[in-house]
């Protein structure tokens, strides 16, 4: 008997009421907890307190929506800082990575997202990195400062969410940045998140299970700009290989 597919393993048929309630939970927590985090970040001197709050609320959101996240591969991380390069299946990836990857990691996001009234305030206050295609040097400067402060950065190399779960072409930006900064780049694989939060579903979250797999870091020390394409293809190959593997059953939920 062949094993069930990921779609069967990760999600159960939801009710319309549950999906609607999850939508309210998601929107409500995004705005209320985001606003609280902005105030905390500006008032409390120890910024680690605000980050602990933000990461805890991301995990609470996940649990309240009936989702279990499984985490594998943390043994590959030995300190950092790193540039994490995850695939991007849905908006749920952001909550999972924020909640469960260790450290106070900064996300690189499209500059347009910073124009949103509440979300933009959260992104700016928490030190996220706006990506401006017309001025890439600005992002490199921000990444330099984060490296000096020993923070890791999460950059989606696809640049946008995949509609069908298949990997999109990878952009060169994360790999140029990793080589320029001399930071290890860590392939990260998000599995099942497309079924949890389908693209085009207007913030609809379907209860189920997802998996985040941290692969072995790739050292960039000694690489040059000419190595960017080779590095990009290597990361993409490793993520694609892991995506072919079945969802790991009997895993314990990620620990806080």
Question: Per residue of the chain (256 residues), what is the pLDDT tens digit?
Answer: 444 444 444 444 567 888 888 888 888 887 888 888 888 988 998 988 989 999 999 999 999 999 999 999 999 999 889 999 999 998 899 899 999 999 999 988 777 777 776 667 777 777 788 877 666 666 777 788 778 788 899 999 998 888 777 899 999 989 998 999 999 999 999 999 998 987 766 567 889 999 999 999 999 999 999 999 999 999 999 999 999 988 875 455 565 5
**According to the model, what pLDDT value does residue 149 have?**
80
pTM of this prediction?
Answer: 0.85
Number of compact structural domains in the chain:
1
DSSP 8-state code for residue 129 = E
Rounded CA separation 118/116 (Å): 6
**According to the model, what pLDDT value does residue 16 have?**
80
Range of the domain at 128: 6-244
136: domain CATH number?
3.40.1130
**According to the model, what pLDDT value does residue 115 have?**
76
Is residue 187 in some structural domain? yes
Is residue 212 in some structural domain? yes
List phi, psi (to 5°) of 209.
-125, 145
* b (16+ CB within 10 A) / e for 32-52: ebbeebbebbeeeeeeeebbe
**According to the model, what pLDDT value does residue 82 have?**
95
Helix 47-64 vs helix 92-100: crossing angle, to nearest 10:
130
Is residue 254 in some structural domain? no
Is residue 25 in some structural domain? yes
HSE-CB at 13 with a 13 A cutoff on CA atoms is 0
**According to the model, what pLDDT value does residue 247 have?**
82
**According to the model, what pLDDT value does residue 41 have?**
85
Locus of tokens 């805890």:
56
Rounded CA separation 148/198 (Å): 37
Is residue 20 in some structural domain? yes
Is residue 39 in some structural domain? yes
Specify burial of residue 246 (Cβ count, 10 A radius: 0-12, 13-18, 19+): exposed
Is residue 253 in some structural domain? no
Cis peptide leading into residue 81 (ω within 30°): yes
Is residue 252 in some structural domain? no
**According to the model, what pLDDT value does residue 10 have?**
45
């Amino acid at each position: 008997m062949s094993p069930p597919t990921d779609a069967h393993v990760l999600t159960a048929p939801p009710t319309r009421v549950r999906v609607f309630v999850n939508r309210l939970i998601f929107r409500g927590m995004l705005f209320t907890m985001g606003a609280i985090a902005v105030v905390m970040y500006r008032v409390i001197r120890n910024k680690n307190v605000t980050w602990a709050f933000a990461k805890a609320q991301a995990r609470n959101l996940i649990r309240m929506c009936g989702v279990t996240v499984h985490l594998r591969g943390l043994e590959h991380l030995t300190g950092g800082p790193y540039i994490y390069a995850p695939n991007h299946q849905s908006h749920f990836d952001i909550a999972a990575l924020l909640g469960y990857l260790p450290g106070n990691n900064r996300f690189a996001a499209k500059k347009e997202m910073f124009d949103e009234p509440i979300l933009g305030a959260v992104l700016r206050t928490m030190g996220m990195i706006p990506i401006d295609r017309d001025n890439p040097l600005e992002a490199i400067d921000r990444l330099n400062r984060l490296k000096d402060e020993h923070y890791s950065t999460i950059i989606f190399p696809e640049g946008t969410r995949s509609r069908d779960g298949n990997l999109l072409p990878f952009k060169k930006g994360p790999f140029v940045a990793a080589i320029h900064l001399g930071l290890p780049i860590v392939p990260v694989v998000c599995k099942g998140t497309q079924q949890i939060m389908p693209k085009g579903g207007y913030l609809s979250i379907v209860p189920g299970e997802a998996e985040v797999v941290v692969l072995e870091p790739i050292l960039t020390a000694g690489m040059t700009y000419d190595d960017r394409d080779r590095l990009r293809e290597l990361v993409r190959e490793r993520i694609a290989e892991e995506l072919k593997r079945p969802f790991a059953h009997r895993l314990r939920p990620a620990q806080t």
